[in-house]
Chains A and B, each alone.
Chain A
Amino acid sequence: MYRVRALTTVTYLAPMIIGVGLISLYPILYNIFISVTNQNLYHFRHYSFIGLTNYQSLLKTLDADFFIVLARTFAFVAICIPLFLALGMLNALALNHPAIRFKAFWRVALIVPWAVPSYITALVWKFFFNGEFGTFNQLYRVVAGPQAGLPWLSDPNWAFGSIVLANLWMSYPFFMVVILGALQSIPTELYEAAAVDGASAWRRFWAITIPLLRPALLPATVLSAILTFNTLNTAYLITTGGPFVSAAKPGATEFVMVYAFREAFQLFNFGYIAAFAVVIFMMLFGVTLGSLRFSGLVREEAR
Chain B
Amino acid sequence: MRFLSRVVVPALIYAFLIAMLIFALFPVFFVVQAAFRPGQSLYSLTLSLWPDHPTWDNFVYIWTKIPFPLWLRNSLGVSVGTMVAGLIGSATGAYALSRFRFAGKQMTLILLLAIQAFPSVLALIPIYLILKTIGLVGSPFGLVLAYMSIALVFCTWNLKGYFDTIPRELDEAALIDGCSVSQAFWRIVLPLSVPALAVTALLMFLTAWNEWVMASVLLLDENTYTVPVGLWGLQNDYRVPWGYFAAASLIVSLPVMALFLGLQRYFRSGLTVGGVKG
Q: Residues of A at under 8 Å CB distance from B? A: 1-4, 6, 8-9, 11-17, 19-20, 23-28, 30-31, 34, 39, 90-91, 94-95, 97, 99-100, 106, 108-121, 123-125, 127-128, 132-133, 135, 138-139, 141-142, 146, 169-170, 173-174, 177, 219-220, 223, 227, 230, 232-233, 237, 257, 260-261, 264-265, 270, 273-274, 277, 280-281, 284-285, 288-289, 292, 301-302
Contacts and interface: CB of A to CB of B under 8 A. Distances in A.
B148 A19 contact: yes
A54 to B, nearest CB: 13
Interface of B: 6, 9-10, 13-14, 16-17, 20-21, 23-25, 27-28, 30-31, 42-47, 88-90, 92-97, 99-102, 106, 108-109, 111-119, 121-130, 145-146, 148-150, 152-153, 156, 168, 172, 175, 181, 185, 209-210, 212-213, 217, 228, 231-232, 235, 242, 245, 249, 252-253, 256-257, 260-261, 264, 267, 270, 273-274, 277-278
The majority secondary structure among interface residues of chain A is helix
B92 A12 contact: yes
Across the A-B interface, give the 7 residue pairs with the lowest CB-CB distance, nearest first.
A16-B93, A117-B210, A277-B122, A12-B96, A27-B126, A138-B47, A99-B10
Contact of B42 (A30, A90, A133): A133
Contacts of A30: 126, 129-130
A227 B277 contact: yes
A302 B116 CA distance: 18
Contact of A274 (B126, B130, B212): B126
13 contacts: A9-B102, A15-B92, A16-B89, A20-B115, A31-B125, A110-B17, A114-B277, A117-B210, A117-B253, A119-B210, A123-B235, A141-B46, A227-B278
Nearest to A3: B101
A142 B47 contact: yes
Given A27-B127, A31-B125, A285-B118, 13 more contacts: A2-B172, A4-B181, A14-B93, A15-B88, A24-B123, A24-B153, A27-B130, A27-B149, A100-B14, A106-B21, A138-B46, A227-B274, A277-B122
A216 B106 CA distance: 25
A94 B17 contact: yes
A274 B125 contact: yes
Contacts, number: 257
Q: Which of B43, B121, B181 has the most CB of A within 10 A?
A: B121
Given A16-B92, A16-B156, A237-B232, A109 B25 contact: yes
A117 to B, nearest CB: 4
Contacts of B88: 15
B175 A284 contact: no
B115 A99 contact: no
Contacts of A6: 102
A124 B42 CA distance: 13
Given A97-B13, A270-B125, A20 B112 contact: yes
Given A124-B30, A139-B47, A1 B256 contact: no
Nearest to B269: A219
A108 B261 contact: yes
A49 to B, nearest CB: 16
Contacts of A114: 260, 264, 277
Nearest to A170: B277
B149 A23 contact: yes
Contacts of A14: 93
B14 A20 contact: no
Contacts of B267: 177
A1 B100 contact: yes
Nearest to A289: B113
Nearest to A18: B89
B125 A277 contact: yes
Contacts of B128: 264-265
